[in-house]
């Protein structure tokens, strides 16, 4: 039981870190055509993402790998029951990577416009689909001894769509703040405006999400049983409000930090409410997949813990090094000098 709890926590942390890191890439991709008006400005946006976006995917691969290795039953049934939305998500992430790499291959405005639009769509869809998927997990899937009784249409239920919209707006604000820190001039000014404008609908959707979660899910059960856990959603709300406070004061890096904390704490709120469930059943709790009934053997989890202790610090150190090396804002002159060409 001890290792099962440890890996539930690690599973949660990996997803939270992935959303905090790739969230600003998805948000920046959605905003590119709105904050950048010329080809040079669009290249500036892409050059802020080019050195880091693929490294951020390591956290997604690791989160998926942990699900497969630590909770194989959950992995198998999740990718079976939610096959269509997860397949669309995979295709979107592939197109996004191709858009980054192919945009600069041909010096033709029509070619670049195609990939700019592809980047917009392939940034929006993953954000929406991640939210819809986790919204349905929070809500519980209609599954019992006979299997799964849902479909793609049933996945697109009101609560799932609200969660999807929450993720989209979280990432738009996050991306706008990232670009405001990593760019200069007109792109920086427009990015600040975009983040500020998106914050208000984000706040509204966040309130709707919190209110809707009570009748739609059982996430509040753990919080009501252990009131001390309410500190997690409370801190999420405070960090969300902190984004606006820092924006008003013009403190962009603290605002981006508050946005990162908001995403981390929103995910933490969801998984704390889920525990010990990984995928609850909306038909009968007896058929819910938990950290205990869907995990690998204790020996497997023990070996995985040793591997994690060795390699996770290496991954963290690498990411810190990358962000330190590329910490300077990207300017129009950098693009013209081809210092970071994408």
* Model pLDDT, residue 341: 54
Which pair of structure tokens corresponds to residue 278?
Answer: 């990984």
Is residue 150 a part of any domain in this protein? yes
Output the pLDDT for position 9: 95
Over residues 261-285, the mean pLDDT reads: 95
Average pLDDT for 177-196: 96
Secondary structure, 3-state, 253-267:
HHHHHHHHHHHHHHH
Rounded mean pLDDT of the chain? Answer: 93
Residue 130 lies in a domain: yes
- pLDDT at position 107: 86
Cα distance between residue 132 and residue 89, in whole Å: 11
Rounded to 5 degrees, what angle do the CA atoms 87, 92, 96 make? 150
Give the rounded percent of residues in the chain with a pLDDT score beyond 70: 98
- Region 328-338 average pLDDT: 82
Total domains in the chain come to: 1
Segment 154-166, tens digit of pLDDT: 899 999 999 999 9
Q: Which pLDDT belongs to residue 161? A: 97
Q: 74 lies in a domain?
A: yes
Confidence of residue 243 (pLDDT cuts 50, 70, 90): very high
pTM, 2 dp: 0.95
Whether 340 has a pLDDT exceeding 70, the answer reads no
Distance CA 182, CA 27 (A): 14
Cβ pair 252, 181 in contact under 8 A: yes
Mean pLDDT of 39-53: 92
Mean pLDDT of 252-266: 97
Residue whose tokens read 């508050």 = 258
- Predicted confidence at residue 334, as pLDDT, reads 78
Taking Cα atoms as reference points, which of 120, 132, 128 lies closest to residue 169? 128
Task: Mark out the alpha helices in 217-278 (DSSP H runs).
Answer: 220-225, 231-248, 252-274
Q: Which domain holds residue 191?
A: 2-336
On whether residue 66 sits in a domain, the answer given is yes
Residue 15 belongs to some domain of the structure = yes
55 pLDDT higher than 90: no
Cα atoms in the Cβ-side hemisphere of radius 13 Å centred on 176: 25
- Angle between helix 2-35 and helix 39-49 axes, rounded to 10 deg: 170
Question: According to DSSP H, which parts of the chain are helical?
Answer: 2-35, 39-49, 53-70, 72-81, 83-102, 109-139, 152-155, 158-182, 185-216, 220-225, 231-248, 252-274, 298-325, 332-336
Q: Is the pLDDT of residue 57 over 60?
A: yes
Cβ contacts of 215 within 8 Å, gap of 6 or more: none
The tens digit of pLDDT for each residue in 283-315 reads 999 999 999 999 999 999 999 999 999 988 998
In a domain, 342, yes or no: no
d(CA 176, CA 28) in angstroms, rounded, equals: 6
Whole-angstrom distance, CA of residue 229 vs CA of residue 207: 19
Q: Is a pLDDT exceeding 80 seen at residue 339?
A: no
Confidence at residue 187, expressed as pLDDT on a 0 to 100 scale? 96
* In contact, 152 and 82? CB cutoff 8 Å: no
Q: What token pair was written down for 284?
A: 């009968």
What sign results for the dihedral spanned by CA atoms 251, 188, 89, 340? negative
Tell me whether residue 204 is in a domain.
yes
Is residue 341 a part of any domain in this protein?
no
What confidence tens digit (pLDDT) does each residue in 107-138 have? Answer: 899 999 999 999 999 999 999 999 999 999 99
pLDDT over 90 at 153, yes or no: no
pLDDT of 105 reads 87
Rounded CA separation 8/72 (Å): 13
- What residues contact 11, with CB distance under 8 A and at least 6 apart? 63, 66, 67, 70, 71, 278
- The CA-based diameter of the chain, rounded to the nearest angstrom, is 62
Per-residue confidence at 1, pLDDT binned at 50, 70, 90?
Answer: low
30-34, 267-271, 322-326: lowest mean pLDDT where? 322-326
* Residue predicted with more confidence, 334 or 247: 247
What pLDDT, on the 0 to 100 scale, is given for residue 342? 60
């Amino acid at each position: 039981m001890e290792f099962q709890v440890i890996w539930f926590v690690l599973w949660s942390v990996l997803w939270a870190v992935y959303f905090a890191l790739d969230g600003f890439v998805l948000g920046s991709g959605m905003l590119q055509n709105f904050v950048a008006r010329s080809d040079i400005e669009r290249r500036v946006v892409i050059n802020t993402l080019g050195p880091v976006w693929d490294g951020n995917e390591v956290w997604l691969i690791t989160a998926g790998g942990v699900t497969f290795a630590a909770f194989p039953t959950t992995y198998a049934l999740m990718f079976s029951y939610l096959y269509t939305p997860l397949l669309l998500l995979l295709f979107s992430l592939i197109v996004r990577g191709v858009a980054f790499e192919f945009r600069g291959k041909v010096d033709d405005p029509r070619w670049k416009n195609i990939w700019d639009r592809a980047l917009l769509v392939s940034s929006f869809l993953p954000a929406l689909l991640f939210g819809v998927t986790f919204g349905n997990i929070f809500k519980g899937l209609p599954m019992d001894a006979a299997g799964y009784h849902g479909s793609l249409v049933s996945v697109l239920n009101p609560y799932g769509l609200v969660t999807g919209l929450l993720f989209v707006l979280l990432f738009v604000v996050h991306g706008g703040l990232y670009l405001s820190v990593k760019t200069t001039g007109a792109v920086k000014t427009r990015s600040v405006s975009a983040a500020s404008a998106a914050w208000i609908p984000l706040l509204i959707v966040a309130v709707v999400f919190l209110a809707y979660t009570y009748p739609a899910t059982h996430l509040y059960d753990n919080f009501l049983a252990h009131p001390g856990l309410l500190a997690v959603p409370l801190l999420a709300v405070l960090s969300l409000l902190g984004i606006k406070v820092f924006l008003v004061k013009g403190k962009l890096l603290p605002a981006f930090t508050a946005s990162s904390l908001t995403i981390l704490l929103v995910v933490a709120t969801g998984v704390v409410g889920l525990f010990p469930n990984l995928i609850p059943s909306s038909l009968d709790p007896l058929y819910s997949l938990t950290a205990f009934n869907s995990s690998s053997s204790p020996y497997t989890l023990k070996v995985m813990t040793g591997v994690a202790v060795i390699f996770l610090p290496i991954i963290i150190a690498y990411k810190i090094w990358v962000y330190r090396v590329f910490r300077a804002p990207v300017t129009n002159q950098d693009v013209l000098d081809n210092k970071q060409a994408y």
